[in-house]
Amino acid sequence: MYSFCPGSHQRIDVCQAFMSNIEDRQPRVAPPSDDAQAIDSQHNALRNLHTPISILPDDLLRMIFEVGTCRDNDAFRCFGELVSHVSQRWRSIALATPLLWRFIRYNYRKTSINRINAYLSRAKLAPLDIRLDLGMFIFPPMALLKMASEHMGHCHRLCIVAPRQNMWIHISHNSAEETSPRPASALRTYKLIGVPLSHLSRPLVPFVAGAPNLKMMHLDRPVLDAFQSYPPAFDSVTHMRLTGISITTNTNFNSICGFLGAMRSLSHLELGIDTLSHILPHQSPITLSTVQFLSVPLWILGNPLLLIDAPCSTTVALSGEGQTAGRTAPVEFPLVRHLMITRYAAFVLLEDFDWLAQTFRHIERFTIRLDNHRELEDIIAAFDHHHACQWLKLQCIAFDLHEDLSLFSAAHLCEFIARLRQTGYPLRTLLIPKVFVSREALCYMSKETGEQFEIADLPNEDWPMSMKS
C-alpha cells in the first residue's frame, strides 16, 4: 500500500525550480551532472506518488491489467508490453502476470522472433491465443513454428496465415520435424489461411498427436485430395468453415464427400465453393446428417453437379455471389425454420423468389442483410411483385443494417410490414439493429405498426458470427 509523503508538494516545487535552473544553464553545461539526473528521478518518483492509481494494491492493479488485455486482443502491440513501460512498479506487476502475455501476435514486418520467445516465456502456462502472419517470407522461420508447437499443450486458439505458395512447400516438407509429439489437448480453434499448391501432399497440422477438444476450424483453399491426411482428432470439430473450395475432378468430389461425411460432431458448416466443373453429374449427394446450420452460395443448391443432403438443418444462410446455374435438381430442407440471405439479398429475391418459397416453405423467420437503403427498396419491390402469401408460418422478419435508417426509409418499412400482414403473412416481430435507428424513426415505427406488433433489437451475436476471424 502506498501513502502520500508529508511536505511532498513543497519538495516537488523545489525540484521543479532546481530543474528549471539547470535547463537555463544547460547550453553552458554539457553533459548534465549526476545531481541533475538524481533530481529528475526524484521528481518523477514524487509525481508518480501523487497519482490516484499509485495507492491501488498490486492485486487490484493486476486485475485491471488483465481486463485491459482482452479489449484489443488482435492488435500486434502487446498490452503487457505497453503497461510494463510506464513505471518500475507496473513493469514488475506485468512481468509477473502471465495472462498479459497470452495473446501472441507475429507479423513478419513488425515482430522479431526473440520478442515472441520472451512473450511465450512470460505467459508460462496461461491459455495461449497465437496468430502467425508469415506474410511475404520466401522461407518461413521454422524456429518460429517449432517455438509455437512446443506450447501446443496450452494453446487455445491457433491461426496461421501464409499466402506465399513456395512457403507452403517448405512448410509441408519440414512440418513433421517441427510439430509437437504431444496432443494439443487445450486447442479449441484452428485457422489455416493461405494459398497451397494443388500438389501439396499433406496439410500443415502442428499437432500430429491430435487435438481431442478442437471445436472450431477454418481452412482456406484446402487441398481436397489431402483431406485423408488430416488427423482423426478433427472428428471432434463442431463448427467448420471451408473457403476457396475448387472441385474440378471426381477425386476432389469424393474427397470432400468422405471428409464431411466422417465428421460426426459437425453442427455448423460454412461451405464456400468457388469452382465446380469437369465432374460427372448425378454423383451421390454430400450427406450432412448432423449439420443444423448450413451456409452455402445460392448457386450450389439445386445444382445437378453437387447435391447436398442436410435433413437436420434448421437454419440455412445463402449468399448471392458466384456463378449462376440452372436449378434442376430437387432440394428439400423439411426442418428449416430460419432462412438467411447474407449477400446480394435484393438480387436473390428478385431472381429466385418463387424457388426460395418452394424450397423453404416452412420458415418462421427470415433474416436479410442489407448493404444500403436502395437494396431495401428492391427487396420491398420483390415482395410486392408476389401478391399471394408465400410463407404461411413466417412470424419474424429481420433486417441487418449497416447504415443509419432514415425516417423516409422507416416509413417505407412500416408500409411494407402492413402490406405483408394484409396479404396473410402472420408477422408478429421485426428485428432491426437499433443502433442504426434514430429515436424519432423508432417512435414512428412503433406507432405505425401498433401494439400487437413488436419491434426488437437485432443484436450482433444474433448473426452467425461464431466463425468470425
456 with 434: CB under 8 angstroms?
A: no
Question: Can you tell me the distance from the alpha carbon of 172 to that of 179, in angstroms, rounded to the nearest whole number?
Answer: 11
**Share in percent of the chain as helix, strand, coil (round to 5):** 40, 20, 40
Question: Can you tell me the distance from the alpha carbon of 396 to that of 296, in angstroms, rounded to the nearest whole number?
Answer: 22
For β-strands 155-162 and 128-133, DSSP reports them as parallel
Cis peptide before 330 (omega within 30 of 0): no
- Going by C-beta distance under 8 Å and a sequence separation of 6 or more, which residues neighbour residue 240? 216, 217, 218, 219, 263, 266, 268, 269, 270
Give me the mean pLDDT over the 15-26 stretch: 63
Give me the mean pLDDT over the 48-72 stretch: 74
CATH class of domain segment(s) 367-458: alpha beta
Distances from the Cα of 180 to the Cα of 148, 149, 160, 206, 431, angstroms: 9, 5, 16, 6, 47
Provide the residue type at 15 as one letter: C
Which residue in the block uniquely carries the three cell numbers 423516409? 408
> 3-class SS at 259?
helix
Q: Say what the pLDDT of residue 271 is.
A: 92
453 phi and psi, to 5 degrees? -120, 135
Instruction: With residue 23 as reference, give the H or E element that holds it.
Output: helix 8-25
Q: Say what the pLDDT of residue 3 is.
A: 43
pTM of the model: 0.80
With 60 as the cut, is the pLDDT of residue 197 above it? Answer: no
Q: Say what the pLDDT of residue 224 is.
A: 78
With 50 as the cut, is the pLDDT of residue 465 above it? Answer: no
Which residues, in sequence order, are bridge partners of residue 268?
239, 293
Distances from the Cα of 420 to the Cα of 54, 71, 336, 356, 414, angstroms: 62, 43, 21, 17, 10
Q: Does residue 123 or residue 207 have the better pLDDT?
A: 123
What percent of the chain has a predicted confidence (pLDDT) above 90? Answer: 20
Which residue in the block uniquely carries the three cell numbers 510494463? 84
Most confidently predicted of 425-434, 441-450, 455-464: 425-434
Which residues, in sequence order, are bridge partners of residue 162?
194
Question: Can you tell me the distance from the alpha carbon of 85 to that of 65, in angstroms, rounded to the nearest whole number?
Answer: 13
233 with 214: CB under 8 angstroms?
A: yes
Report CA 191 to chain centroid distance, whole Å. 10
> 3-class SS at 342?
strand
What percent of the chain has a predicted confidence (pLDDT) above 70? Answer: 72
Question: Can you tell me the distance from the alpha carbon of 192 to that of 211, in angstroms, rounded to the nearest whole number?
Answer: 15
Q: What cell numbers appear for 460 in the block?
A: 450482433
Q: Say what the pLDDT of residue 469 is.
A: 41
Q: Say what the pLDDT of residue 463 is.
A: 47
Q: Which of the four pLDDT bands, split at 50, 70 and 90, describes residue 1?
A: very low
With 50 as the cut, is the pLDDT of residue 468 above it? Answer: no
Q: What cell numbers appear for 468 in the block?
A: 468470425
